[in-house]
Structure 1
């Protein structure tokens, strides 16, 4: 019995001595609860919208002010021509455009009805539906206030138009997200155990005394996985095209190149995890638990980032998957070119260089 108690004490000492194990045991569950609690929501907040006002009268201005005053929408842009609608959506910031008809106020007074077109970005069907419902609710509230003082009720008729995914197929939202999650987790996990395997097998000493520079070791471990991940990405894209019938409005070559860029970013992150992990088990746990939830919850894959609390919106910017999902949706559903996703590309390149540089630095520390 004493031996058993002593063994239990030893296990406790071993756990509390390893800070990484403590973080996995206590830190990650807390982080998961907070992420699920704040990120999982069907509500929308501060969604960027644009206004196309052909009428420019007092009534349309009242409605615009009412929508802007709500916590749900933020007027991002005022556009003047219908020809600008598609280019505004392709930039990826604006999620809906309100198109007021000509002589809106006159039609409302004389004919007792007027039309406003609600154009939404349906690459995310759930968000598009929610935005339409919220705008309709605000319009109905405005009408109730106006109709208190008149005998014949006014009517504002909203006409909803869904761009890029008019049939609201949810697969158009999930395929880019699933593609991102798979590439991130598989690529990161494959490389995260590479250096830790060397430590556990005792072959790290061979690398330490070899004439190879740290950068050469890091790149040498990444290159084989790049080719394996490209095969993985090719299979995913083919399944998307032929099984899920995903459209590719843009360049298939550009989509392939962007996938390679994201794979390299994910592999670089995996190498960084590998250099700071003491064992393969720790590396795999960090890859699974530390990357899976942020990739799913903070990338805009399922839940709109604009509806999350501001701290989580800031944190989402350091999640590589967020930028890749924007790229994939832009190419496949909107048909954008490199000019529209240049910022996202630069961010992924900067992240890749940062991960590789930090990995080399950590590897140097282990050499000393």
Structure 2
């Protein structure tokens, strides 16, 4: 029994001294519970919407107040023309617009029926359906308050219009998300073993005695993987258009250029991991754990980011796939130009520069 306890003590000390193992055993489950508990939800809350009220009467104000009071919507803008609706959607500022026609209350009281138009951004068809259903339920609830005994046949009809994806095809949201996920994981994993592999094979000494500077060594490592990634981009776009029937509504050249930029960003992440990892296994494990879950959770592909607590929304800004996902939806699905995605483009450029700079800084010119 004493020997058994000695071995237990030995194993405990081994775990306690290995900080990485201790982190995985104790803190990783806590982090995963927090992330999954707050991020993985099918509900849509605090969705940003706009109201175009052409009537501005007591009934429209009451419905707008009822919508704003729910936990599902956040009215961020009042619109004054149909042109404002289109412009606001194109800027990505809202997910839905509520349109009240002129004389809404008059029609309701005198002809016993009125109409409300719900315009949703259907690039994410599931979210669009959910939001229109929420809004319709709130409008129906208001309608019931007008006739508590059922004596007055007041009827409010909701007309739903889906922008950019009227057929509500799931591929319109699936394709941009998969492009971000595949390019990030494949590019990062390919390059995450590029430098550490040289160390394990013993060929790093030959590279270090060459006249090339660290910057050129890193660039030379990424160029072949960039060419392979170009093939991946072409195959993804061809399959999307001809197999999944998702048309490229915007400029093809702009979409390819943005994809190449995101590929370079992903390669930079992999190079940084390869610089800091000691073994190929550690590099692969780090690239999988640090990239797969954040890309899946914080890109906006699977779960709406606005549903998450503010700290997680802030963390999502550090995930490159989030910005590329926005770019692909705006260019490929909505048909917008560079003026709509310049902010996201600058963010990806800044991330790439920072990652490459830090990789060069961490690059060790001596193995010992």
Alignment gaps of 5+ in structure 1: none
The alpha-carbon distance between structure 1 residues 11 and 265, as it changes in their structure 2 partners (threshold 3 A), is farther
Distance in 2 between the 1:177 and 1:75 partners? 27
What is the Cα-based RMSD across aligned positions, in Å?
2.5
Deviates more, 1:80-89 or 1:230-239: 80-89
The residue aligned with 1:200 is 200
Preserved CA contact (<8 Å) 2:265 2:348: yes
Counterpart mapping for 1:317-336 below 5 A? 317-336=317-336
SS at match of 2:152: coil
- Following superposition, the deviation at residue 11 of structure 1 comes to 8.0
- Following superposition, the deviation at residue 145 of structure 1 comes to 2.4
Distance in 2 between the 1:12 and 1:222 partners? 42
Instruction: Give the total of aligned pairs.
Output: 367
The alpha-carbon distance between structure 1 residues 15 and 276, as it changes in their structure 2 partners (threshold 3 A), is farther
The residue aligned with 1:297 is 297
Counterpart mapping for 1:254-273 below 5 A? 254-273=254-273
Distance in 1 between the 2:12 and 2:195 partners? 27
- Following superposition, the deviation at residue 210 of structure 1 comes to 3.5
Counterpart mapping for 1:129-148 below 5 A? 129-148=129-148
Distance in 2 between the 1:80 and 1:22 partners? 58
Deviates more, 1:235-244 or 1:304-313: 304-313
SS at match of 1:36: helix
Distance in 2 between the 1:9 and 1:272 partners? 37
The alpha-carbon distance between structure 1 residues 365 and 109, as it changes in their structure 2 partners (threshold 3 A), is farther
SS at match of 2:156: strand
Alignment gaps of 5+ in structure 2: none
TM-score (norm 1): 0.92
Preserved CA contact (<8 Å) 2:208 2:365: no
SS at match of 2:222: helix
* Aligned: 1:128 with 2:101: no
The residue aligned with 1:227 is 227
Distance in 1 between the 2:365 and 2:67 partners? 55
- Cα-to-partner distance string for 1:109-145 (whole Å, 9 max, x where unaligned): 1112111100000000110011011111111222222
The alpha-carbon distance between structure 1 residues 209 and 24, as it changes in their structure 2 partners (threshold 3 A), is farther
The alpha-carbon distance between structure 1 residues 197 and 63, as it changes in their structure 2 partners (threshold 3 A), is same
Preserved CA contact (<8 Å) 1:24 1:285: no
The residue aligned with 2:348 is 348
The residue aligned with 2:89 is 89
